[in-house]
Amino acid sequence: MLPAEYWEIIGWALACSVPVVLVGAAVVRLARAWSLAVSMVALVLIPVLATLAGVLGASGFMISGTFERTAVVLVIVSIVTIPAAVMLARYQARRMVWEAEIRDSEAAAEHSRRRLVAFVSHDLRTPLAGIRAVAEAIADGVVPDEEVRVHAKHIENESIRLSEMVDDLFEMSKINAGALTPTFDMVALDEVVDDVIAAHRMPAERAGVRLRASLPEQPVQVVGSDRALVRVLSNLVANAIAHTPPGGTVELALGADEISAWARVDDTGVGIDEADLPRVFDVAYRGSNSRVPRSDSSLPSGSGLGLAIAAGLVQAHRGTLTAHNLPTGARFEVRLPLAD
């Protein structure tokens, strides 16, 4: 059984320290709206001040030698722990931000994967069903001999389309996984533009679209992968041709300013709906403006991944890819750091 004087000491200690703890709890609750550092400092000061108040109450509010020594120890503890608490709070705040960014990134990647799966299940099913139907008709002998060649050409075109879609899916999966590591070298963008124009000249003629290039007098050089940059500009040009009506024009222009090289693909097509501009580089984007109808079924219709792949490749080159509307048509602009 404790002596009465001890009960008196305990009563005074509780009476003096509990209000400090309650006030500190209120401060911590309010500090949640301020900063994590303030909360951590309050958490350090609450036990220090509560102990000091409890010792003062237990000593009968007499400033004795014991109280002075206790106060000195508590002050030293506060001097040591408060800076540590602030550093810990800053570290914790940064960690919370990093974790939030990681969660957002994972959520965005999961959303992108789901859209990709839904896109694949829809867009791969259509050409496969066509190939199967034509192949079964030929096998059953219901296709006249003079039409077999036409149907075989249809199977060839659909097979090419499927192959391109699989290549795009493989490239997109590497981009989403962060496994895209192109081999960088000195690249002359003039030569890249020449290759892209040569590759798309015949499809443009078959679509009734004029394809032209505008090159500067001086060569423009960047550090990157020539294969990847050809893929970027090819995707942009193919997209422009697909959205430009017969008689229209697609122009691939090249230039440079003091800090970066740029390549612009302008078309005189239907443009991009303003509501779709923020999502134009999303996976499987097609937008609300439909493609221009083509009578030639051999012209590629696109996988819906071209712009997303181009954006991923440009990002891997530490560049930017933007899109906006012109008075007639749309413009896609690639900017890359100039080679030293």
Number of domains into which the chain is organized: 3
* In a shared domain, residues 93 and 223: no
* In a shared domain, residues 257 and 279: yes
* In a shared domain, residues 147 and 187: no
Considering 65, 100, 135, which residue would you say is the last residue of a domain? 100
The maximal CA–CA distance of the chain, rounded, in angstroms, is 116
Share of the chain above pLDDT 90, in %: 20
Domain range for 243 is: 181-340
* In a shared domain, residues 340 and 278: yes
Task: Give the sign of the dihedral formed by CA 74, CA 75, CA 78, CA 80.
Answer: negative
Considering 133, 160, 179, which residue would you say is the last residue of a domain? 179
Mean per-residue pLDDT, 161-181: 69
Any domain includes 142:
yes
The domain that holds 293 is classified in CATH as: 3.30.565.10
List, in order, residues 6 or more apart from 103 with CB less than 8 Å away.
none
Bridge partners of 250, per DSSP, are 211, 267
Share of the chain above pLDDT 70, in %: 74
Look up the pTM and report it: 0.58
For 168, other C-beta atoms within 10 Å of its C-beta total 19
What is the DSSP track for 77-145?
A: HHHHHHHHHHHHHHHHHHHHHHHHHHHHHHHHHHHHHHHHHHHHHHHTHHHHHHHHHHHHHHHTT-S-H
* In a shared domain, residues 311 and 256: yes
Predicted local confidence at residue 275, as pLDDT: 83
For residues 261 and 255, is the Cβ–Cβ distance under 8 A?
A: yes
**Across all residues in the chain, what is the average pLDDT?**
78
Predicted local confidence at residue 201, as pLDDT: 92
Mean per-residue pLDDT, 139-145: 81
Any domain includes 332:
yes
Task: Give the sign of the dihedral formed by CA 296, CA 300, CA 304, CA 307.
Answer: negative
* In a shared domain, residues 82 and 165: no
Predicted local confidence at residue 32, as pLDDT: 65
Predicted local confidence at residue 192, as pLDDT: 92
